[in-house]
Amino acid sequence: MEKKKVMIVEDSTTMRLIIRNMINTNLHLTVVKTAANGREALELLPSAQPDLILLDLEMPEMGGMEFLRHARLKTRAKIVVLSSIAVAGSPVVAQARALGADAVMSKPSGAVSFDLADKRGAEFWELIHRLLGIDMAEPVPAKGDQG
C-alpha cells in the first residue's frame, strides 16, 4: 500500500516536530513537506502534492484562514485545521469549515501542545484515517508510540 502524503503547516518548530513524530509512527502516512506559514505552504503545494494538510491558523505572513481561501483552488488534499483557537462551536471553526477545511481539531494545551498524542491521539488517528479512507482495522499506533 502506498503511503498517504502529509504536509504540516505550522509556525512553531516544536509543534511541527511533535506532529511529524506522530505521523512518522503511522505505517500509512509520510510527511512530504512542512511549512512555517500559509504563503510558504502555497508555494510548496505543487511539488508536495499532499493527500492531507494539517493546518495551524495563527501564523505570521499568511495565516491558516487566508491559506484556506487559496488552497481549494490549488489542491484536492483533505485539510484538517489543528489550532489552539479552534474551539468546538466557535465562529473560528465555522469560518474554517466554510472556507473548505474538511475537519477542525483543537490543540489540547494551547499553541504548543506537548500532550497532543496523549489527550487527542485516538481522535486524531480516527479523523485522519476516516478522511483518507484508511481501514481502521489496519494497525494504528498504540498510545505510547505516538510521539
Q: What is the 3-state secondary structure (H, E, C) of 30-43?
A: EEEEEECCHHHHHH
Percent of the chain surpassing pLDDT 70? 91
- CA 110 to chain CA centroid, Å, is 15
Q: Collapse the DSSP code of 53 into the 3-class scheme (helix H, G, I; strand E, B; otherwise coil) and give the result.
A: strand
The vertex-96 CA angle with 130 and 32, nearest 5°, equals: 55
Range of the domain at 48: 4-145
Q: What is the pLDDT of residues 99-131, one digit of tens each?
A: 999 999 988 777 777 778 888 888 999 999 999
In tens, the pLDDT along 32-53 reads 999 999 999 999 999 999 999 9
Query: Taking residues 16-31, what's their average pLDDT?
Result: 94
| pTM of full prediction above 0.85 | yes
Q: Tell whether the model's pLDDT for residue 147 goes beyond 50.
A: no
Question: What's the structural domain count of the chain?
Answer: 1
**Alpha-carbon span 90 to 50, nearest angstrom:** 28
Q: Picking from 14-23, 96-105, 138-147, which range would have the lowest pLDDT averaged per residue?
A: 138-147
CATH code of the domain containing 19: 3.40.50.2300
